[in-house]
Structure formats: C-alpha cells, structure tokens
Structure 1
C-alpha cells in the first residue's frame, strides 16, 4: 500500500481488520453466479436447484422458505408470516413485500381482558402467548405466491419451486442438530396442546411419539399434501377450501374467533421500503408494522453523535465496552420510539411520520439523551415527539442471489417455538403461529389489539446499497424476535465500519437486549413487549465476549447476563451475502451463522 493512501482513518481500520474468531472455522463462500444461504443445508440446496432451473433469487427464496417449513418447524411454517426485500438489478430498485396476517375481524381487546381475568391475570397488559386468540391469519403462503408472481423470473413454475419441499415431506429428511434441539425444547409444549398422534409429523419414523435426534429420518406427509395442493392450485388452496376449513375449525373449536372470511379477505401488500444513509451505505428496512424502524433510528442516533463530535466511531475498538454501550443506549432510545409509534399503518397513518422520525432535527434530539458514562434511566425515559401535533396515545432468515445480479432478503416465522403449538387436527403437519401475542391492550395506542389489524412484527429482512450508484452491496438478516434490530445494527457496523467479511461478522460475539425478567411486573404496556417494556433492560452477551468488557458494562450500570452453549439461540442466526463488481460481472460472497446448521450453497 502506498503511504500516501494511508490516512488516519484507514490506519485505524487496518489495526482492527481483518478479524478472526477461534470459535468458528467457517470460511466465506464465493461464486460468480449466485449463492443461497439459509439455516439448513437441504433448504439452501433446494434454492440452488431452482436457480439452476432458470429461476431468480425470489424463486429460490420461496423454495427455501417452503423447505424450511419442513426442516425447521419450531422456527417457521405455513401457519406463519413473511416479509421480503428484493433488489432488482435492472432497475436498481428495492421492492418490499409485507406477507403478514391480520387479527380476526370479530376480535377485540375486551375479549382478551375477559380471557386474562378467567386465567387469573386481571392486570395483564398483553394476551397470553398460548392464547388461541394469538393466532392471526397466516400470511406466509400468500406472501410466497405473490412474491413469485410479482418479482419472480417467470421461467419456473410454482410447482417446480415447491417440489423440493414436497419431496422432503413425502420421502423424508434427516433432521439437523440445531433443529432437533429446538424441537426437543418445545416437545412438552406440543404435547400439552395436541393429541400425541398429531406430533408424528415432527417425530422420527423410528420413534413416532418422541422428539427427533440429530440425523434421524422425519416424514411429514400431511404437510406434503398441503404443499402439493398449493403448488397445483395457488394460494386459494390454502385460504379457501379444505385447508382453510381445517384451520378455522381448529381455532373455533378452541374458542377462537377466526373465520373463513378472515382467510378469504387476506392479502399481501407491496410496501415502500425505508432507508438510512450512513458510513457509505444505504440500509433498507421494511416499514411498520415491522420493527425495521428500530434499526434506522438507532443508526441515525449514532450518526448524529458522530457528526456532533460526541463520539469518534473510528477510534472505537470493536466490541469494546465503549462501543457496546453506545449501541445499547442508541437501541434503547429507538425501542422507546417504536413502542409508542409502530403498529399497523392502516390504523394510524404511521407512514406519514417516517420522514419526521428519520429527520436530522429529531435524531439530534434523541442523540442528546446519550451519556457515555451511564445508562439511560428506564423508569423516567419515554419516547420522543417528532411533531407536537402527532396523537400521543423463533424465525428463519435466508437470502439468495442469482446470475442476473438480483438478490432477495427473506424472512419467515411462526414467532415463538412452534408458534401457538396448535396443530389443526383434520390437517396435521404444521402449527399455527401466535403473532397476535405482539399486540398490547393499551387502549388508544398504535399497537393496541383491534379487529382485522396487523400486529407489531419483529421479523425484518435488510439490504445495503450504495447511495450514489444504487448498486447492491449486501443482503443480510439476523433472526430472533427483538434480537433482530440489534443484530442488524451490529452487522451493519461490522461490515461498513469495521470492514469485516460476511463470515467474520456472523462469527463475531453478539449482544441481545431483552426486558429484564425480574421487572416484567412493571411492564409499561406499550409496544409489543420488547427490551424497554420494563424499566430495566437485560443485556445478554455471548460467552466469548471479553470478560473485562462485561465487567465494564456492569460498571456503567447495565444489567448483563453471559449466555453459554445452546442457550445462545437468543442471539439468533444470520446470513449475509456481499456483492462486488468483477470485470463484466460480479462476485457473491456469503456467510452463515456458526450458531445454526446452515451453509451457503454456491451456483456453479
């Protein structure tokens, strides 16, 4: 390197990069044609197969989504929801799709208040995670079909896209280690809600009433029948017909209010993605009802602190106490805001406020609350006011790129492990999600439960483009409930500030913010029950984080918990693909999370 090019900023970056983590021996995977990265190798292979047939990155992602419903049912399923961000290389535009479902039209907060009273929890500010009323309309299948119709290549059929998942159902598949552990952890929950024979679709062939162990063969013919019907007849096979009647019959049998009309009236929504420019990259997120806004607010606060000279990002050491304190406090301020303002935009016009939330004026006001020497007082802190006239009232992520330069960031979820755990008894093969548990009961708040309303949603895909050329730089995501925006912020800074490779970023020890379990009785009742719903936020850190840093965070006033072994699932599992120009073409470079079973599959 010529000394003339070695600026102070570049020298500091050279001191910190490249980085290596002994806890992983995975290498970044490269291809000039396309890559599929997911939590399960068989699912990634299915996506690559669809690319080989001429499909694009959207087609590949839908194939992956369907396969993951078979391979990792604790995390995802046809009874859940999805979101998509797609980068179209021809137009250089980012397209967003909201594939999330709505609450039953006849459901109201008074129904949940009555249910909570019957359960002996009259002061509860949210519904129970196990409530049948937590089952909202599953939006995933419609999201898949709409994604293929609106953004797919047109070169492969829906049947070709879903065939790998159907084969895995009908012919069986060996379960991977992490998936088997997730299933084992939820087995009691499944047994408590269903007749034992309904669990056979998640059990090994050799022991149909036991949770599967790593490498055991699992067959799920009921799910295969449903997927085959969707492949042949489209989304109507799910939302109108025997499948719909099976879902509604089960929900109503358990006292739920979901109706056939709720399913028939469901529709995916094309949305305008939101973005923030920082450190030479433009990060794209899904707008409300998703929590993607947390990412942009947190990064915007950090950006304003850097501009004002309050902090010097380029002098900070990666994962130092100073650096992590900055991330934690910026994220907490962002969570306070989304708890107040994020909900279904059809019930409050949130979309008109995005420019206010992300304005320099507002972000400066929020940044002024940061103190490098102490934590924010959660008993006194609240949301900001961008405009005084504003009314104050377990998941899978995967991504794919293709030979044409397109890339897709996709996420599919049933929320908590196996969602509600309710298996429609006349159908079998899958569980209904419990996404409605993200509603609150605070009357007048943006995310208060109402009929036909989408809840605050934790799942978020992301993309990073060059703000000057609009060329794609990264697709990325990090599953895991309220971990997701924290993961996005960490990965964005890992990639754009510290210049880590995709695999290095995924290997890097992470933090996660959660409501402190000792303070949940002080739930503010706002938002969706995230990290600032209680006055104390728990900061969970991975066991390979520097112990000195952990003690320094505690000294600053943070409540810190070190998480070890398989409990590290709280930090989610991410995937990242980088795109760089190379001659007349480009190179894709992908990483997958060491905390999961997956590997990137390149197209050759």
Structure 2
C-alpha cells in the first residue's frame, strides 16, 4: 500500500468494466461504450481512435496496431497483427545504390501503408457487439469539436514540431506553432474519413477518395505507393508467443513485433536471484541492463516480418537464455549496447479494456516517431507513419527492407497468465524501451510483490546505445555504484515509457493502474 502522505495514485477498483489508457477522454469514451452495451473490443477501438485526436503526435489512422484478445468465457488468447507493409516499389538495393546505409528516418522511404484501420474493422466485425458507426461516433465528435491539449501532449508536440513538413504543418500546427496546454485541436478532415469508414467499413479508407488522397500525396513526395498497395492491406490473426517467469507466463505478440525480446530478457533474469536484491538498488539495475544488451542483440539479429523470421524458437529456448546469462558478470558491465536496429522513440499509445464478461483487450497503436514521417495527406490531413525506418539495409538480413514486407516493430501488447488463467492485460509504451519495460513490470510484480500501480510508478532504467539511462527516481548513490561497475550512466532526458494495466482478481474485482508519466488514467464502473 502506498504512503498516503506522499504523491501517488490509488488503484481503480470496479466490477463491471475497467479501461486504462494514456488520456482521460479516451478512457471515459471506453467506459461510455461499455455502459451503452458494447464489449471490450468495441470500447478499445473507440478509445484508441479517440487517442489519435487527443495524442496525434503519438498515433493516428495513418499508423499500425497490434492486439492481444482474450475472448469472454475462456482463457485462450488471440493475436491480431494490424501492421502495414512497405509499398511494392520499395527496394533496399536502390537505397544502397544511392549511398544510404539506413532507411531515412523521416524520409518518404520510411512510409509504410497504414494497417490499423483494417485491423479495427476486422476486430469490430469478428468480435464487437456494436456497429462500427456506433464505435467510431465519439472519435468523429471529438475530431469535429476538438480536444483541449493536455500537458504531456503539449510537451511532446513542441519537441516534434520541427519535424512536421508541408501539409502536416497546416493540419497539426496552430498559427505555425505547436499548441499550448489547453488550446483546442480539431481534425475535421479526419472526422470525414472516420464518417466514411463508419458507413462502408475499410473500403472508406483503403479505396475511393481517401485512398486517392493518400496515394497522390505520397507520390507527390517521391513515394512509390500505389492504389494496389492500399487495397491489398490485410491484418492477420496469429498466436501469441509466451514464456514462464517465477510462476507466471508472459504472453507477447509474435514477430514482426519485438515481444519475444521481453520473454528472452525474463529467461535470462531467471538465472539470477532478482528477488533477493534491493528492488531499487544498483545490483538489480546492472543485471537488468546486461540482460537488455544481450536480448536486444538477439532481437536485432532475428526478428523481422513473420515470413522471414526463422530463428524464433532459438531465441525463446531456455538453452539460449542460459548461455547468455553465463556471459553476465554480476559486478562488471560488458561493452556498451550495440546500436539498435531502429532509432529510439517514445511515440505510442496503449489501451487496455476488460468488460463485465471478462473479455480482455490489450491494444497498442502507433505512428512510430513523433508525427511519424512528418508528412500528411493534402486533403484529409492523414499523418503518415515512418515504420519503414524499422527495416535495415543490410543485404540478406531477415529484416532487410523490401516491397510488400512488414518491418520489425517496436510496439508490443502484453498479457500475464497464471495457473492457466489470464490475470492481466498490460502494456508499456516507449519504443525500444518496451521489452525492457515489460520485463521490469513483470519482475516488480512477481519478484517484489508490488501491486500494478506501484509496479508502474517505480523508477526505471534502460541500457540504450548512448548509455545507461536512469530516471530521477534513483538517488545519486545508485548512479555512482553503477558507474563504478563500468556503466556510462546518463540521466534520462524524458520519462522512460508509460504503462497501463488491469488486474483481473479471482474474486471478480478489476484493478486498473495508469502511469503518471502520461496524462491518462484508469476508469471503471
């Protein structure tokens, strides 16, 4: 239990339904949908699309999503891959011939076809209770009427403003500047797109005038995108990957997502007495940092489009984890982390919903970097993601950029299962940090017995290429001890990620938790 004389958040407890996400208006929309007869899928879609208006620097209809879904009345989990593919004309060889060594982070080459809308339409049709028109109505209203800009959103928006280009500056700036806290942001063009999707489904986005706007805008910027690329977009159902840790199972979305990295990290950590360490001490941070270096190196070697990932079983095997754990010196840091396959970013939203029938949804939805590529369509203002920057240009690599291929993705929804029962959908936003964030959150829960809110509130560290980042929650003595171990300690220049979770107690009570690093909250009824 937290110290009630100190700043903090209490858990949100309810019995009928809970939503936890990064913006309060989206959480309220999700609860409204549940109370109007919708289920967790309806609520998660409604809240997620609203987040594209509330946090446009983080996500939007020009982005991708991944979903883990536990249906009502059972504990099996379905995974849905809502990530789009590179246009057929994308070529790593052509980029190498131009002297490029990486896909340009904000270049037109980084723009992959949006996959989220197709996934939302499929989810609604296969699992939802309400019509798509009912589910999208709140987002249409907020896009038309506008949303006051929240504090964390304003902070991020100002930092991302220089990367907006052309039409995107018209749609996402006010008087040529990033909006201030409390200014109202409107997106009438997106409202019109959502109305078309509400009427005719995915065809309202991937065909007709909306698709024509996106294709024409991308081609005018030098892209190879075609109408056929958009029309061919299709999400895919798959099975989660999972792995044990101290009596629980962590379920993750399979490749092209990086979720297996979190499983590998926990497999490595299982070789150490983490529970016997000071939860906020240098020894734990050190072991976690070393496991991060090793697990992320494996990620960069193996994870790619599912059709090109061939060594997933090796990555998840106990023998691999044992060999990697043996490389860790408990008192000395190994060389710095290798450069990540993708640049580190923080720009993602996560939403989780559990309804009265105990359907549970874990959904993550992103445009990758702040405002994605920085480009937007000229008529409707659809902001294009830059997920193609997750590809490599290394010839023959499983994640080598190619037309029709999905890039390695950083966004990963999670679920925890104990004793065969799904007990918690959760997610940790924050780009490359996410697998480390998943492992840290799970360890906080099971090694140190923390409740979900305390496990989220706790300080974080991350072994990034530029050094071992520490949030300000750690005292100077911890930083000094880590430096003595050989770590290059650097203060985190911004919060490390943001998390949301819902614990499904066996009593029937739902316990929601939400990260104070974001503007959001958990709500229940």
TM-score for the superposition, normalised by structure 2:
0.95
Please say which of residues 19-28 and 269-278 is displaced more in the overlay. Answer: 19-28
Matches within 5 A, 1:347-386: 347-348=308-309, 350=310, 353-378=311-336
Residues 1:452 and 2:427 aligned together: no
When residues 380 and 182 of structure 1 are mapped into structure 2, their CA distance, relative to the original with a 3 A threshold, is: closer
Residues 1:514 and 2:464 aligned together: yes
Residues in 2 aligned to 1:380 and 1:59: alpha-carbon distance in whole angstroms? 41
Judge conservation of contact 2:338–2:465 (CA < 8 Å) in 1: no
Q: Per the alignment, in what secondary structure is the counterpart of residue 333 of structure 2?
A: coil
Judge conservation of contact 1:288–1:456 (CA < 8 Å) in 2: yes
Residues in 1 aligned to 2:367 and 2:338: alpha-carbon distance in whole angstroms? 34
Judge conservation of contact 2:302–2:312 (CA < 8 Å) in 1: no
Judge conservation of contact 2:293–2:338 (CA < 8 Å) in 1: no
Residues in 1 aligned to 2:72 and 2:131: alpha-carbon distance in whole angstroms? 22
Partner of 2:301: 340
Q: Per the alignment, in what secondary structure is the counterpart of residue 324 of structure 1?
A: helix
Partner of 1:411: 364
Judge conservation of contact 2:337–2:463 (CA < 8 Å) in 1: no
When residues 22 and 437 of structure 1 are mapped into structure 2, their CA distance, relative to the original with a 3 A threshold, is: farther
Q: 1:314 aligns with which of 268, 275, 278?
A: 275
* Bigger Rg, which one: 1
Partner of 1:12: none
Partner of 2:139: 165
Judge conservation of contact 1:347–1:453 (CA < 8 Å) in 2: no
Judge conservation of contact 2:18–2:512 (CA < 8 Å) in 1: yes
Partner of 1:389: none
Q: Per the alignment, in what secondary structure is the counterpart of residue 509 of structure 2?
A: strand
Partner of 1:548: 477
Q: 2:217 aligns with which of 246, 250, 254?
A: 250
Partner of 1:183: 157
When residues 440 and 91 of structure 1 are mapped into structure 2, their CA distance, relative to the original with a 3 A threshold, is: same
Residues in 1 aligned to 2:6 and 2:329: alpha-carbon distance in whole angstroms? 33
Judge conservation of contact 1:21–1:507 (CA < 8 Å) in 2: no
Residues in 2 aligned to 1:138 and 1:242: alpha-carbon distance in whole angstroms? 16
Residues in 2 aligned to 1:380 and 1:222: alpha-carbon distance in whole angstroms? 42
Judge conservation of contact 2:336–2:465 (CA < 8 Å) in 1: no
Matches within 5 A, 1:369-518: 369-378=327-336, 394-428=347-381, 430-466=382-418, 468=419, 470-516=420-466
Judge conservation of contact 1:568–1:595 (CA < 8 Å) in 2: no
Q: CA deviation at 1:170?
A: 1.0
Q: 2:76 aligns with which of 93, 99, 104?
A: 93
Q: Per the alignment, in what secondary structure is the counterpart of residue 552 of structure 1?
A: helix
Partner of 2:344: none
Unaligned residue ranges in structure 1 (runs of 5+)? 1-17, 306-310, 383-393, 517-537
Q: CA deviation at 1:379?
A: 8.7
Q: CA deviation at 1:312?
A: 2.1
Residues in 2 aligned to 1:334 and 1:199: alpha-carbon distance in whole angstroms? 39
Judge conservation of contact 1:100–1:138 (CA < 8 Å) in 2: yes
Partner of 2:118: 142
Partner of 1:11: none
Partner of 2:286: 325
Residues in 2 aligned to 1:160 and 1:27: alpha-carbon distance in whole angstroms? 32
Residues in 1 aligned to 2:303 and 2:502: alpha-carbon distance in whole angstroms? 29
Please say which of residues 366-375 and 133-142 is displaced more in the overlay. Answer: 366-375
Residues in 2 aligned to 1:221 and 1:23: alpha-carbon distance in whole angstroms? 42
Q: 1:25 aligns with which of 1, 5, 8?
A: 8
Partner of 1:568: 494
Q: Per the alignment, in what secondary structure is the counterpart of residue 339 of structure 1?
A: helix
Residues in 2 aligned to 1:22 and 1:294: alpha-carbon distance in whole angstroms? 38
Question: Number of residues paired by the alignment?
Answer: 520
Judge conservation of contact 2:189–2:379 (CA < 8 Å) in 1: no
